[in-house]
Amino acid sequence: MKKETLLALIISIVVIFLINFPMLYFYLFPKENLVFLGRRVMNSQDTYTYVAFIEQAKQGKFLFTNLFTNEYQAPSLIRPSYFVIGKIASLLNISSILAFHLSRLILSFIFLAILYRFIRRFFDSMQQRIFVFIILLTSSGLGFILNRIVPSPTDLWIPESLTFLSLTESPHFIFSQILMLLGIMFFLKYLKKRELMDILTSTSLFLLLSFEHPYNLLVIGFTVLFVCLLTGEKIYKSVFFAFLSSFGLIYQLIQILTNPTLMGWHFSLLSPPPVAYLVGFGLLIPFAVIGMEKIYKEKDANYKLLLVWVFVTGVIIYSPFEFQRRMIEGIHIPLAILAGIGLFFVAGKFKKHWVDVVLSAVVLLSLTSFYTIYIDFSTINKDSSKGYYYYITKPEAKGIAWLKSHTGGKDVILSNWFYGNLIPGLAGRTVYLGHKAQTINFDRKVNSINSFLLSSDTKLSRTFLKENRITYIFLGNNDDMIFYGFKPDTKPFLTKVYSENGVLIYKVSSK
């Protein structure tokens, strides 16, 4: 193994270990009588929406449904990554949440191998490539320092904005960047060799990407268009290649317009004010600006791609779409490479001490990234048997396992929001309420549940359950619904079918 390859591998292993240290620690040393849920602080309520896809695949489904809302829906969601992960989990007989994390680790190494290969396009020096690789893996913004002055810096809450945070996220975040990067590399290869197979491979990868993160295709389509034009491609070819690269958007648009469940899905993912991004990328921006100044006259398509990618993303994250901030994914790659070019120029002014300058910048750029690991560890560690969010009790885990083995795909489970967020992933069952975005009419359903819990009108209560196809009610330890005033044993249409260590499950009478 070459020295450079070995060094890049060691860096990858160290960074991935540090990223996953909180997950590994709490899996190995769980709290007494509690079961660790395997989710982080950032985007915590989304984790089990992805685990639910894995669980559906484990249970034999090819097309998925949104299990976080009770409205009737025909299976139609296509998620290639989670289908494959679910099938492998089924073969290995491992839990869906374990499959979620193992696949994330494997995809992380694949992504970093491709990423390093991409970096090689821009730097001839091994030393420079290694430094840029470290910058790409660890750099963040100034959120750690300025979060009390600037509201919501993006490096503290938008995982797709930084490579480091993306690697802490769900498998499809990583897989989507693999597809994006590979598609771009084949596109650049086409511009160099003009071989048809390269552009077909590129557009095929982008089509597959449409099933994972379709938001990226708008950035890709415009980037392909402008890079083609800037490298002398004919206008009609440029437009055609841009169309092919973003073709998957058409399928996703049809899905949204024809699937009532998706139409009701709340896609409010607006970008924060520009200052949040500026702080979120921090010192990367001034270094990147210097890098841009150094390469903007270069005729090489690789450099033109970096400039166009950054420019297109900067414009499109404020375009009139509700999923604005999702389109930030991947921007950290060209931004960090440009910052590396700028940093090496600045460090070169210090001659013999340029390595010290670069190392100092690398450390400074990584502070917020490692701060998020501290946040994960300290926050999760606060959970106890008296109050928990990143854990559930062992009796609750056992009760949800009972739901999985005693209910079917047509059943709908009513629970409080906390358990409703977990049941689809742990049991593969539909819930009435479980996710603020994926549960259609979330706020209205919260009010409907509150009315049901306190209602003394048997007829109205039955009607509520029947109209919403609710067949079971799950109550965890010291459940909020009980504290709110719900008295299930006084309801003649409810039959207790499970009671163990404070966990209760009631079946709704069909009569």
Q: How confident is the model at residue 263 (pLDDT cuts 50, 70, 90)?
A: low
Residues 6+ apart with CB under 8 A from 188: 121, 301, 302, 305
CA–CA separation, 314 vs 318, rounded Å?
A: 8
- 249 with 211: CB under 8 angstroms? no
Place of tokens 């989710």: 39
- 420 with 413: CB under 8 angstroms? yes
Query: What residues pair up with 473 in beta bridges, in sequence order?
Result: 414, 506
Residue 184 reports pLDDT greater than 90: yes
Residue 71 reports pLDDT greater than 70: yes
Dump pLDDT digits (tens) for 106-151. Answer: 999 999 999 999 999 999 999 999 999 999 999 999 999 999 899 8
Dump pLDDT digits (tens) for 447-482. Answer: 999 999 999 889 999 999 999 999 999 999 999 999
Residue 252 reports pLDDT greater than 80: no
pTM of the model: 0.94
How is the beta sheet containing 494-500 ordered, strand by strand?
430-431, 412-414, 472-475, 503-508, 494-500
Concatenated DSSP letters of 297-345: T---HHHHHHHHHHHHHHHHTTSS-TTGGGGGTTTHHHHHHHHHHHHHH
Domain boundaries, the chain: 3-30+95-380, 393-508
Does CATH place domain 393-508 in 3.40.50.300? no
Size of the chain in residues: 511
Residues 6+ apart with CB under 8 A from 118: 181, 184, 185, 333
CA–CA separation, 64 vs 59, rounded Å?
A: 11
Q: What is the pLDDT of residue 450?
A: 94
Concatenated DSSP letters of 262-278: HHHS--------HHHHH
Report the pLDDT averaged over residues 263-268: 59
Q: What is the pLDDT of residue 268?
A: 66
CA–CA separation, 373 vs 391, rounded Å?
A: 18
- 47 with 38: CB under 8 angstroms? yes
Dump pLDDT digits (tens) for 196-249. Answer: 999 999 999 999 999 888 889 999 999 999 999 999 999 999 999 999 888 888
Q: What is the pLDDT of residue 215?
A: 85
Residues 6+ apart with CB under 8 A from 497: 406, 472, 505, 506, 507
Report how far apart, in Å, the C-alpha atoms of 405 and of each of 190, 408, 413, 427, 428 are. Answer: 52, 8, 14, 8, 10
Which phi and psi angles does 412 have, rounded to 5°? -125, 130
In 3D space, the residue among 442, 406, 401, 449 whose CA is nearest the CA of residue 425 turns out to be 401
**The amino acid at 409:** G
Residues 6+ apart with CB under 8 A from 270: 322, 324, 325
